[in-house]
Chain A
Amino acid sequence: MFSKGTKRKFSDGDEEISAESLVGARVASSYSLQRQSLLDMSLIKLQLCHMLVEPNLCRSVLIANTVRQIQEEMTHDGSWHMVTEAFCNPGQSPSERLVATEVLCRSREQDAEPKLFSVISYEGCREEEVVADETLCSVSVSDTVSDVCLAGRMGQCWEKSELSGVERDEEALEDSSLGSGEDEEIDTEDEASTKSPKTTGQVFGTFEIKNGSPGPDSALEELFSDVDTSYYDLDTMLTGMQSAPKMGPYDLLDSLAPSHSSPTIVSTPKCRSDLNELDHIMEIIVGS
Chain B
Amino acid sequence: MMAGVGGGNDFQWCFSQVKGAIDEDVAEADIISTVEFNYSGELLATGDKGGRVVIFQREQESKNRLLSRGEYNVYSTFQSHEPEFDYLKSLEIEEKINKIRWLPQQNAAHFLLSANDKTIKLWKISERDKRAEGYNLKDEDGRLRDQFRITTLRVPVLMPMDLMVEASPRRIFANAHTYHINSISVNSDYETYLSADDLRINLWHLEITDRSFNIVDIKPANMEELTEVITAAECHPHQCNVFVYSSSKGTIRLCDMRAAALCDRHSKFFEEPEDPSSRSFFSEIISSISDVKFSHSGRYMMTRDYLSVKVWDLNMENRPVETYQVHEYLRSKLCSLYENDCIFDKFECCWNGSDSAIMTGSYNNFFRMFDRNTRRDITLEASRENSKPRAMLKPRKVCTGGKRKKDEISVDSLDFNKKILHTAWHPKENVIAVAATNNLYIFQDKIN
Please report A residues at the B interface, Cβ cutoff 8 Å: 34-35, 38, 41, 45, 52-54, 56-59, 61-62, 64-66, 68-70, 124, 169-170, 173, 176-178, 197-198, 200-201, 204-205, 207-209, 234, 238
Contacts and interface: CB of A to CB of B under 8 A. Distances in A.
B229 A61 contact: yes
A176 B334 contact: yes
Contacts of B282: 66
A62 B231 CA distance: 12
DSSP class of A's interface residues: helix, strand, loop or mixed?
helix
Given A207-B223, A209-B88, A238-B90, A62 B339 contact: no
A177 B278 CA distance: 12
A53 B116 CA distance: 13
B230 to A, nearest CB: 9
B180 interface: yes
B285 A177 contact: no
A65 B225 CA distance: 10
Q: Which of B198, B335, B338 is the most central at the interface, judged by chain A CB atoms within 10 Å of its CB? A: B335
A62 B248 contact: yes
A53 B94 contact: yes
A268 B198 CA distance: 44
Interface in B321-339: 332-336, 338-339
A41 B285 contact: no
Interface of B: 86, 88-94, 117, 178-180, 198-199, 222-229, 231, 248, 280-282, 284-285, 288, 332-336, 338-339, 341, 344
Contact of A35 (B117, B229, B281, B338): B281
A66 B339 contact: no
Given A45-B341, A54-B117, A200-B224, 20 more contacts: A41-B338, A41-B339, A54-B93, A57-B179, A57-B198, A57-B229, A58-B229, A59-B341, A61-B226, A61-B229, A170-B339, A173-B336, A173-B339, A176-B333, A176-B336, A178-B281, A198-B224, A200-B226, A207-B223, A209-B89
Contacts, number: 96
A176 B335 CA distance: 5
A177 B332 CA distance: 6
A56 B344 contact: yes
A124 B332 contact: no
B333 A53 contact: no
12 contacts: A54-B89, A54-B91, A54-B180, A58-B229, A61-B227, A62-B285, A65-B284, A169-B339, A170-B339, A176-B332, A201-B223, A238-B90
Contacts of B285: 62, 66
A182 to B, nearest CB: 13
Contacts of A58: 198, 229, 231, 248, 288, 344
Contacts of B178: 207-208
Q: Which of A62, A64, A173 is the most central at the interface, judged by chain B CB atoms within 10 Å of its CB? A: A62
**3 closest pairs, A vs B, by CB?**
A201-B224, A176-B335, A204-B223
Nearest to B335: A176
Contacts of A169: 339
A195 to B, nearest CB: 11
Contact of B281 (A59, A66, A201): A66
A41 B178 CA distance: 28
B248 A61 contact: yes
Contacts of B228: 61
Contacts of B224: 124, 197-198, 200-201, 204-205
Contacts of A69: 281, 284
